[in-house]
């Protein structure tokens, strides 16, 4: 049988079937189409970047951020975006995982000729993830890690004097987040989780140039370009809830590859009702560390207080309470009250959440 020609250039031999479209393409057309799609995401609307902007690439050493560093450096030169690029890495203090992946980032620093800044949880918060997991166990550790990393990236960006952080979140990550927010009924987050750029009054601008890039294509790109990246999963248990969304999404993708983009488009079509927008809290500064926050304490300090209170796992279990508010206080689940008149459901009172009441409650209150 004669070799299949590339469906784009029609001359070279097709070597890749694009997971996103099913098109059979040659290697060089795959590189071109992948990079052009990222460029299109970057220039869409008003464009992600301004000329002369200082941009930090959140670099974990994994496939997504490694490919992002490579593609962004390439496009910056090819299209003359005029960006000043940096690598920014957060060392969460996970022995046997992040220490190894940071070695990869150091290699990328040399390969791409980009300045690198590394900040650690230990220096910023006085806690490593190893220490946190030894205290709280594996169940909620992803929440600590996510909250601390978000703030650590902001602090690193401020130290670098950059205006903008880009991360390697890909189309699969975003579609999973849409599904998770639907499953949790978290309407406020559902309304904003598909935005390619987020920016608050006092927060550093964040963008996801891989919003429409499929994870499988990112892996393919890294493989064919022979990029150096670290491919081991985090040694601590993954976010269980996201895991369900991920498995569901992978099943959907195997039946219909467009499911990932379709879910993102559905998420983009959600518009917050005025009442929901009004319910969102005004921002202030954290009373403990001065970071931007919607409460007296920022999320990281609320978690740190719980850790400092030294609650052990049995204490965590005791603090579990099904009446805890749903994320952003959007709803409560009415509970059957045996003392109420027949068939009457009582709505639990709204609870003011304080981190000192227990880590579990603090974690639930800020669930990502
Ligand atoms: N320790 C870190 N330091 C800097 N940036 C990070 C770090 N961890 C994650 N990020 C940023 O957040 C993005 C999404 O992180 P996530 O934890 O989902 O990892 P991932 O999907 O495995 O990505 P990657 O393949 O880049 O590790 C990463 O692509 C990266 O830009």
How would residue 323 be classed by pLDDT, with cut points 50, 70 and 90? very low
The mean pLDDT value for 297-322 works out to 67
Task: State which H helix or E strand residue 218 sits in.
Answer: helix 215-224
Structural domain boundaries of the chain? 30-278, 284-365
* 255 assigned binding-site residue: no
Ligand 1 in contact with 328 (CB < 6 A)?
no
- pTM value? 0.84
Ligand 1 in contact with 62 (CB < 6 A)?
yes
Measured between alpha carbons, how far is 45 from 32 in angstroms, rounded to an integer? 22
How would residue 324 be classed by pLDDT, with cut points 50, 70 and 90? very low
**Ligand 1 centre from 235 Cα, in Å?**
15
Percent of the chain clearing pLDDT 90 (strictly above): 65
Measured between alpha carbons, how far is 240 from 180 in angstroms, rounded to an integer? 11
Dihedral angle computed from the Cα positions of residues 34, 36, 41 and 47, in that order, rounded to the nearest 10 degrees: 150
Measured between alpha carbons, how far is 368 from 358 in angstroms, rounded to an integer? 18
Ligand 1 in contact with 59 (CB < 6 A)?
yes
Q: Report which of 11, 42, 344, 33 is spatially closest to residue 209, judged by C-alpha positions.
A: 42
Annotation: CATH topology of 30-278: Rossmann fold (3.40.50)
Query: CA triplet 141, 146, 148: central angle to 5 degrees?
Result: 95
Measured between alpha carbons, how far is 188 from 13 in angstroms, rounded to an integer? 48
The mean pLDDT value for 98-123 works out to 95
* 22 assigned binding-site residue: no
**Cβ neighbours of residue 203 under 8 Å, at least 6 residues apart?**
154, 292
Three-state DSSP at 166 gives strand
Ligand 1 in contact with 173 (CB < 6 A)?
yes
Ligand 1 site-directed mutation target among 65, 153, 198, most atoms within 8 Å of CB: 65
- Confidence check: pLDDT of 270 > 90: no
- Dihedral pair phi/psi, residue 333, rounded to 5°: -95, 120
Tens digits of residue pLDDT in 112-144? 999 999 999 999 999 999 999 999 888 888 889
Ligand 1 site-directed mutation target among 55, 58, 149, most atoms within 8 Å of CB: 58
**CA 118 vs CA 59, 109, 140: distances in Å:** 9, 12, 25
- Dihedral pair phi/psi, residue 367, rounded to 5°: -45, 135
* 152 assigned binding-site residue: no
Tens digits of residue pLDDT in 202-237? 679 999 999 999 999 999 999 999 999 998 888 996
ipTM of this model?
Answer: 0.97
């Amino acid at each position: 049988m004669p070799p299949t020609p590339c469906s784009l250039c029609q001359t070279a031999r097709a070597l890749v079937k694009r997971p996103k479209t099913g098109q059979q393409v040659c290697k060089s057309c795959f590189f071109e189409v992948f990079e052009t799609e990222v460029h299109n995401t970057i220039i869409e609307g008003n464009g992600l970047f301004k000329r002369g902007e200082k941009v930090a690439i959140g670099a974990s050493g994994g496939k997504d951020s490694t490919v992002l560093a490579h593609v962004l450096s390439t496009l910056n030169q090819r299209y003359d975006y005029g960006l000043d690029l940096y690598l920014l890495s957060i060392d969460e203090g996970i022995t046997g995982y992040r220490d190894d992946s940071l070695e990869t980032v150091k290699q990328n620093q040399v390969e791409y000729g980009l300045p690198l800044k590394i900040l650690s949880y230990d220096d910023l918060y006085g806690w490593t993830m190893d220490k946190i997991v030894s205290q709280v166990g594996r169940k909620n550790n992803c929440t600590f890690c996510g909250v601390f990393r978000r703030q650590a990236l902001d602090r690193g960006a401020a130290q670098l004097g950059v205006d903008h952080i880009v991360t390697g979140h890909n189309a699969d990550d975003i579609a999973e987040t849409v599904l998770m927010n639907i499953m949790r009924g978290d309407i406020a987050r559902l309304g904003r989780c598909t935005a390619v750029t987020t920016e608050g009054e006092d927060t550093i601008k964040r963008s996801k140039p891989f919003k429409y890039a499929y994870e499988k294509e990112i892996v393919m790109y890294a493989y064919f370009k022979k990029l150096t990246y670290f491919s081991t999963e985090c040694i601590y248990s993954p976010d269980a809830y996201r895991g369900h969304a991920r498995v569901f999404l992978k099943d959907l993708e195997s039946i219909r590859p467009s499911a990932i983009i379709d879910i993102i488009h559905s998420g983009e079509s959600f518009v917050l009702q005025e009442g929901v927008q009004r319910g969102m809290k005004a921002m202030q500064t954290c009373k403990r560390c001065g970071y931007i926050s919607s409460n007296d304490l920022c999320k990281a300090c609320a978690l740190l207080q719980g850790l400092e209170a030294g609650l052990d796992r049995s204490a965590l279990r005791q603090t579990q309470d099904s009446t805890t508010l749903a994320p952003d206080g959007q709803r409560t689940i009415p509970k059957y009250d045996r003392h109420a008149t027949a068939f009457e459901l009582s709505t639990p009172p709204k609870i003011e959440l304080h981190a000192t009441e227990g880590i579990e409650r603090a974690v639930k209150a800020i669930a990502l």
